[in-house]
Amino acid sequence: MSSDLLRVESVSKRFGPVQALSEVSFSVGNGEIVGVAGENGAGKSTLIKILAGIYHADHGAAYLDGKPYAPRDSNVAVRAGLAVFHQEIPVCPHLSITANIFLGSKMPTKYFMPDWRTMEARCVELYRVLLDEDVNPRAVVREVSAAERQLALLVRVLSRDAKLIILDEPTTALTPPEVARLFRVIRNLREKGISFIFVSHMLEELIDLSDRIVVLRDGKHIGTLVREEFALDVLSRMIAGRTLTPPARMMANSSKQQVVLSVNNLGVKGHFSDVSFSLRAGEILGVAGLTGSGRSVLLRSLFGLHPVESGEVTLNNRRVRIRSPYDAIKQGVGYVPEDRKTMGLFPHQDIKTNVCMARTAQRADLSSKNNSGMRRDAALMKEELSIKFRDEDDPIGALSGGNQQKVLLSRWLLLEPTIILMNEPTRGVDVGAKKEIYDLLFTLTARGFSFIITSPAIEELLITSDRVLVMNRGRVRSIFNRAEATKEAVIHAATT
Amino acid sequence: MQRLPDSGYIDKAATRDTSVTVRGLKGAWSRAFLVRDFGIGIVAVLIGLVFSLTSPVFLSAYNLLNLLRQTSELGMVAMAMTILIIAGEFDLSVGAIYAVAGVVTGLVAKHLGIEMWAAAGCGLISALILGLLNGLLVTTTKINSFIATLSTMMVYRGIAMVLSQGQPISSFLVEPEFFDIMGRGKGFGTIPVPIFWMAGWGVLLFFLLHRTAFGVKVYATGDNAEAATLAGIKITRVKRIGFVLTSLAAGLAGLVSLGYLKTITPTQGTGLELEAIAAAVIGGTSMAGGVGSIVGTFIGTFIMAEVRTGLVLLGTDAYIQDAFVGLVIALAVIINIKLTERGRTKS
């Protein structure tokens, strides 16, 4: 055991009522790649942040090279030889690759000026020795690809004697060939004795690259797989903890319900064309597809956020033209965006204002703000959707992710729209809240609300939707009903 | 389609948890800091006390009324600017609009021989048009409002200079009631009329921002423009109205100035824009948008006037007064932030 580079022993961390990590132990050997798998909220990022010195563990200990390791802040962690790659890579975009690599450290100088020639030469050498790659040291970082940027960052940390590199979802912005290249570089570095912790949602990538995989669920270390045990189904079962069974949902006589929305040959230039489908009262339609297939733009265009080029939309038996969100809302469409923070919430306004915002937006400018009415509506929504908050006047930031999501949903319910569009309805909410939101959707459909949901998580669509529409390169590839919609069928339709 | 039982979602009676936990006096004190504008109010009172210790005249009714009269033009502009800043934009051209409104009024009255009130109407309309231009420029081109209104500030100032040929306009035909009502008269025997104009305008804006749906839209637009759009708020419209309101305030202030001084200089109002922004910021308005209040800005204006008047009464060197005002701006903002933070963490 003493030959391990990093040893983590029963580390725990609690945030208020949430036990983010409990008693997690694992180790990373020299020249080993350890994968970390788990759902959102399983504790992966908490673990990374503790190792990087951003959070501090409540209990437990860690040892780096046999010495106790409890970094006070991220600088201490870096000095100890640990580097973290985030989803968003911090670089100075207007400077050259060389500058980004040497910035902050002791630069070689000549007559008190930075000695760029020496640095560029050393940059090229570093690339060759460490990565076995060629580089244009003068290329401006803003103009190179995401993959090049990552390599520059790798070189940067390696030139500072990093021994353990944590890769946090490093492939999200990369194309498949770029991923292959990154993996080749990582394997090369492993041969040189550098260790990696590799965190990813992509199970195939975890299996491809890792020597061992640590699985976290609800903050607990569920188990560790070694290479011989790697298999997609084993891994996904360990991550999910159970095979998710679709909740029993009465879909009786839904086909007898009237059609509330029909879309004919809809097209948005550069995104999709010839999209046709219909939606019945009380129905949930899932829209699946890869990133860039047009599924997200489809929802946004129905809400007036993208100018429609061709086709027609019929809502409640009336032909409508939706040019702006204001129009859409007037016609009875609501939209819950994928990113609560940047697209949904008003951080400095209180809960009641956030709940009632869509209705306030529809009211005449000079009509009364009506604080007591807003309070009453917020309290009503609190009860209807079991949103957990203390007072309607509290700031919105006091709510958890799941409750904030309910606030965004309640914003539309107050207007009683015909259709609610939801883009990634459970992004960034924990497992319990996820189930609550699904149950809520089912209750609401029973009352006649219709939903169109899109999400990159196919399981989510399979669980919630009555039918699944699959987009593929800007076209509708197929529409499955509940019986036909299996994960394999959807993936097949989305990718071929 | 009968979707919801009863008369729908909204009308159903709701039970609100009204149980209030009993907290001590200390709790009440720290909760008070959560009340909007409490912190900055304390700062204003403290500054007043300090000056009254050094100069007994400071707290006299005469001095306070005089102080309010002097600051009334700034107050009107700053309160309107607050709405614009909350909506996420601001306007550097207010000082120039203030001048244009006065110059247009003066020229129309003198050279076209129209009566004073109609001329004032022309002045106000010109201000309104300039404000609308600002709004259109910023919302259609999406130029940062700092740059956009910096350029219109110079253009509008140029208009004032060209129209007046750089000369002050004065010696109007005698029409005393205009000057009395706009600036020189006194209400209830003692209160200068500019104070009434500021109070009336302030109350109007207060209701607009804090009691109407428009006010909520203003906060939403500045707090998160994208979320506001997705909630169905027409943010362009909100911002344009903000620009027009601000220019209207500048025009009105220009008329009050004309009423009081009976003369117009095309260079008047230079620096008014920065003082208005400073007053709003002292009053707790966030330059990032989404946060602020009319009362806070009024207190902010008041604090700046307090310091200027106090320093005059102390007999300080006139040259150092601006430096002091600058210091007070920084101090007031720091104290306000600290007090609000304390109130928030304690509750």
pLDDT at A302: 95
**pTM for this prediction:** 0.78
Residue A44 pLDDT grade (very low, low, confident, very high; cuts 50, 70, 90): confident
Q: Is A203 on the interface with B (CB under 8 A)?
A: no
Q: What is the pLDDT of residues A425-455, one digit of tens each?
A: 887 776 667 888 888 899 899 888 999 999 8
Residues in chain A: 496
Q: Residue A362: what pLDDT? A: 92
Q: What is the pLDDT of residue B258?
A: 93
Q: What is the pLDDT of residues A216-260, one digit of tens each?
A: 888 889 888 888 888 877 887 787 765 444 455 555 445 678 899
Q: Is the pLDDT of residue B29 over 90?
A: no
Interfacial A residues in 232-291 facing B (CB < 8 Å)? 258, 281
Q: Which of A348, A414, A449 is the best mutation test for B, with the most CBs of B within 10 A?
A: A348
What distance in Å separates the CA atoms of residue B184 and residue B173, rounded to the nearest whole number?
Answer: 16
- In 3D space, the residue among A13, A35, A470 whose CA is nearest the CA of residue A209 turns out to be A35
Domains of chain A (ranges plus CATH)? 4-240 (3.40.50.300), 254-495 (3.40.50.300)
Band (B32; pLDDT cuts 50, 70, 90): low
Is B32-346 in CATH node 3.30.160? no
Contact A361 B232 (CB under 8 A): yes
Q: Is A384 on the interface with B (CB under 8 A)?
A: yes
A349-367: average pLDDT: 93
pLDDT at B129 over 60: yes
Q: Determine the pLDDT at residue B242.
A: 97
**What is the per-residue pLDDT for A332?**
93
Mean pLDDT of A38-64: 85
Which of A258, A353, A414 comes nearest B216 by C-beta?
A353
> In the prediction, which pLDDT does A483 show?
84
Listed ranges A3-12, A394-403, B170-179; the one with the highest mean pLDDT: A3-12
Interface test with B, best of A323, A326, A330, A369 (most B CBs within 10 A): A369
Query: From the CA of A171, how many Å to the nearest CA of chain B?
Result: 28
Spatial separation of the C-alpha atoms in residues A399 and A312, rounded to whole Å: 40
| Mean pLDDT, rounded, for A163-169 | 88
Q: Is the confidence at residue B16, as pLDDT, over 50?
A: no
- Average pLDDT value for residue range B47-66: 89
Condensed to tens digits (0 to 9), the pLDDT of residues B70-119 reads: 999 999 999 999 999 999 999 999 999 999 999 999 999 888 878 889 99
Domain range list for chain B: 32-346
Residues 337-366 of chain A with CB under 8 A from chain B are 337, 342-349, 353, 357-358, 360-366
Does the pLDDT value for residue B14 go beyond 50? no
Q: Touching check for A389 and chain B: CB below 8 Å?
A: no
Classify each residue of A81-109 as buried b or exposed e, where b means 16 or more C-beta atoms within 10 Å of its C-beta.
bbbbbeeebebeeeebbbbbbbeeeeeee
**Is A337 close to B230, i.e. CB distance below 8 A?**
yes
Over the stretch B189-243, which tens digit does the pLDDT of each residue have?
Answer: 889 999 999 999 999 999 999 999 999 999 999 999 999 999 999 999 999 999 9
Q: Do A416 and B4 touch (CB under 8 A)?
A: yes
